[in-house]
Each structure stands twice: as structure tokens, then as C-alpha cells.
Amino acid sequence: MLATLVFGGLRIDEALSLRWRHVSPASRTLRVAAPKTDAGERVVDLLPALADELAAIKPLDADRDAFVFATATGAKQSASNVRNRVLAGAAEKADAALAREDRSALPRPLTPHSLRRT
């Protein structure tokens, strides 16, 4: 999910609303079908690394209507869950790795939207 936010430039709800029918690792594109605004509906060209990541997590028998980043029960994840568990945990690990190299920690606040700007 983090790779999709960073390399795809999606907003958090766009990523959480992404379904397998919107993703084509073979053609290296994804379609944003649940944008914040009408103008936000678009096709995103995927970097090879992101296309490979999405292809790697796609189940062989994936339901086209299933969420790409679903909960364990197949439901849509909440943005607060992603912020509090996924992003916060990743930032802590990154900060620890940076500290081992005697480098500065990541800037705060670090939000899913700030990843969109990278």
C-alpha cells in the first residue's frame, strides 16, 4: 500500500477504494475510479517496481471486485487504520534505520497525503 501511495500518487481513499479490476500490472496502469473530484478520475502509469509489487500481491484467483488493500475479511480498510498502523509503523522502522546511519528522522507529521508529494 505504501508503494502505491508513494509511486502512484494516489490519495488515501483512492488507494483504499482500489479494486483488482482497476489494476493492470501487465499494461502497467491503474485506473483511479473513486476520486475525490470528477477531474480526479484518471489512468496512472505505473513504474515497473510498483507494477511488480502489485503483481506480487495479486492472488491468482483474485475476484475482480475485491479490494486490492482489503482487511482480513475482505472489507475496505479505514484511512485512520492505515495512518495509525501501517504508516506509523513504517515511519518508526525508517527512523530507526536512519538513526543507525546517523541521519535525521523523517519529517513530521507524516501523512498518507505527504507521501503523494514525494
Looking at every residue in the chain, the average pLDDT score rounds to: 88
pLDDT confidence of residue 103 = 95
* Total domains in the fold of the chain: 1
Print the domain residue range for 18: 2-116
C-alpha to C-alpha distance for 77 and 16, rounded to whole angstroms? 6
Strand order in the sheet with 29-32: 23-24, 29-32, 42-45
How much is the pLDDT for 64?
94
Q: Check which CATH number belongs to the domain holding 32 and give it.
A: 1.10.443.10
Contact predicate 19/68, CB 8 Å = yes
C-alpha cell of 50?
Answer: 510498483
Stronger pLDDT, 15 or 117, i.e. the higher one: 15
Mean pLDDT score, 34-62? 86
Strands 23-24 and 42-45: unpaired
Q: Is the pTM of this model over 0.75?
A: yes
Beta strand ranges found along 12-95 (DSSP E): 23-24, 29-32, 42-45
Mean pLDDT within 6-24:
91
